[in-house]
Structure 1
Amino acid sequence: MTSTTASTRWRLKEPSIIPGFGLTLGFSLAYLGLIILIPLAGLIFRASSLSASEFLSILTDERTLAALKISFGTALIAALINVVFGVLICWVLVRYDFPGRRLIDAMVDLPFALPTAVAGIALSALYAPKGWIGAWFTPFDIRIAYTPIGITIALIFIGLPFVVRTVQPVMEEIDREVEEAAATLGANRFQTVFKVLLPSLLPAIMTGFALAFARGVGEYGSVVFIAGNIPYVSEIAPLLIVIRLEEFNYAGATAIATIMLVISFAMLLIINLIQSWSRGRYGHG
């Protein structure tokens, strides 16, 4: 018994493979707590000051529901579009070498470097009824700016890099010999893409989708200009939170923020579960 206990203690005191693990873990947890956990706890604590009836009243308010629907609906549509075209862009950048490839690759990161307010103003100027692009749709009575369509375009703009930069490294690791082997075994291009390549890319695609969706839900700067901020039509939930704060209605603002937090967490949890399932099914990660 004594020798076993001593052996166990000796193993526990063995130095970690990573130098300074205990110190770095402590800093990591402290940073996580200060930057993320404490603000979230404060948000939930502030919202808990509301009674159940007051919280339910804010939740069921038509303006709140409309803003949440616009924010989550446009973010979901934009993330789905980014998945399709982001994977296509990755395929072109990884599988082909052509003049201007490096320039296109650098342009993908432009939404990261461009201030969101600048992006919003630029998109508003382009898609406004008298803008360079919006003017082409005006004769057909189609409005892009100041509608959910404009919001979706802004979210596509800011969310595309998340998909491309997540999927691109994984696609680069897939050897061309895998495609050649599939073709040798009789698979056509459709079967090679959907049965050989996409299963390998699915976890990365889901990660890119989750990042683009999460960014879209909370986006403010690039959306507020092109949205038009019309209640029940093109008003996003982050803007409604700002309006409640300007009205000194802190309880209402924190309640809406808490609702967004719960919905976002639930959707990201579902996405992570799908990721885990795909990794287990296809043996990646």
Structure 2
Amino acid sequence: MKRVLPGFGLSLGITLVYLGLLVLLPLSGLVFKSSALSFAQWWDIATGERALASLRVTFGASLLAATINAVFGLIVAWVLVRYSFPGKRLVDSLVDLPFALPTAVAGITLATLYAGNGWVGRYLEPLGIKVAFTPLGIVVALTFIGLPFVVRTLQPVIEDIEPEVEEAAATLGASRAQTFFRVLLPGIFPALLTGFTLAFSRAVGEYGSVIFIAGNMPLVSEITPLLIISKLEQYDIVGATALALLMLIISFLLLLGVNALQWWAAHRHHRLNGGAL
């Protein structure tokens, strides 16, 4: 059979060269530059008070934002797939707005909205809720930029679920909660976990939308990417690469764990479906 694309050998070669130039080469340069430090020197930089504080803010806010998006992104995707309502096309297009909007513009907009005199902040601060220039503002920014990853990942999966499945569960006496958690969620969970992973990965490396709303106070609301930029501005290239390598290691381990969980969930769902058949 005549193939439209090149054969396996050529395709694999192009793939490896492309990934090598795009991914492996920069990462190799990062590791090589960090090798100028001894392990003790690298560890001192990685475990410095300011570095640890920035890591807690970065990964903590990213996990929280990705979790929020996993919950509400599922609801948004479900509504967009299962219901018809006026303005549905507009709502669907608004989901992609964080993709199209420059991150710096998003950060300035969010900071303006949630500042003490902003449209939203003026009502929150009297209640004791300060968003702008706090870690909470970072979570808001990361939630904003991560929502589309969850929604767009879940929509095709939800579309493939036949409404008859829910009707059959209801006919057999299942409650709404039982139908969701025991019938629908097992099929949705692998895609939900994928969307969570994408949102988390995007949030960890985010910079533009965060610096305007975070306040960037060391030990309080400073993210690790900003600390790396600060070191670069001070011509501390080795220190910046040491922090970047630390972020790479932590991100890799977290994503490895999430991917293992995703594989387990998909394998379990496939096994259960096979057993049902």
Given the alignment, which residue of 151, 162, 174 partners 1:187? 174
Question: Which whole-Å CA distance do the structure 1 matches of 2:104 and 2:7 have between them?
Answer: 42
Q: Tell me by how many angstroms 1:209 deviates.
A: 0.3
Q: Tell me by how many angstroms 1:81 deviates.
A: 0.2
2:217 maps to 1:230: yes
Q: Hey, what does 2:232 align to over in structure 1? A: 245
Q: Which amino acid aligns with 1:212?
A: A
Question: Which whole-Å CA distance do the structure 2 matches of 1:128 and 1:233 have between them?
Answer: 18
2:53 maps to 1:66: yes
Q: Tell me by how many angstroms 1:16 deviates.
A: 7.6
Q: Hey, what does 1:132 align to over in structure 2? A: 119
Q: Hey, what does 2:79 align to over in structure 1? A: 92
Equivalent residue of 2:220, what SS? coil
Larger radius of gyration: 1
Q: Hey, what does 1:3 align to over in structure 2? A: none
Question: Which whole-Å CA distance do the structure 1 matches of 2:30 and 2:174 have between them?
Answer: 54
CA shift digits 1:43-79 (9 cap, x unpaired): 0111111011111111110000000100000000000
Q: Which amino acid aligns with 2:249?
A: V
Given the alignment, which residue of 10, 13, 36 partners 1:26? 13
Off by >3 Å, runs of 4+ in structure 1: 14-19
Question: Which whole-Å CA distance do the structure 1 matches of 2:34 and 2:50 have between them?
Answer: 19
Query: Gaps (5+ residues) in structure 1?
Result: 1-13
Equivalent residue of 2:174, what SS? coil
Given the alignment, which residue of 16, 27, 38 partners 1:40? 27
Q: Hey, what does 1:255 align to over in structure 2? A: 242
CA shift digits 1:201-251 (9 cap, x unpaired): 010000000000000000000001001111011100000000000011011
Question: Which whole-Å CA distance do the structure 1 matches of 2:176 and 2:265 have between them?
Answer: 22
Equivalent residue of 1:238, what SS? helix
Equivalent residue of 2:106, what SS? helix
Query: Gaps (5+ residues) in structure 2?
Result: none
Q: Which amino acid aligns with 1:169?
A: P
2:251 maps to 1:269: no
Provide the aligned C-alpha RMSD in A.
1.6
Q: Tell me by how many angstroms 1:105 deviates.
A: 0.5
Q: Tell me by how many angstroms 1:15 deviates.
A: 8.5
Given the alignment, which residue of 163, 177, 183 partners 2:164? 177
Equivalent residue of 2:261, what SS? helix
Question: Which whole-Å CA distance do the structure 1 matches of 2:108 and 2:9 have between them?
Answer: 47
Question: Which whole-Å CA distance do the structure 2 matches of 1:216 and 1:280 have between them?
Answer: 28
Given the alignment, which residue of 90, 94, 109 partners 1:103? 90
Q: Hey, what does 1:148 align to over in structure 2? A: 135
Q: Tell me by how many angstroms 1:135 deviates.
A: 1.1
Q: Tell me by how many angstroms 1:176 deviates.
A: 0.8
Q: Hey, what does 1:115 align to over in structure 2? A: 102
CA shift digits 1:131-169 (9 cap, x unpaired): 111111222343210100000000000000000000111
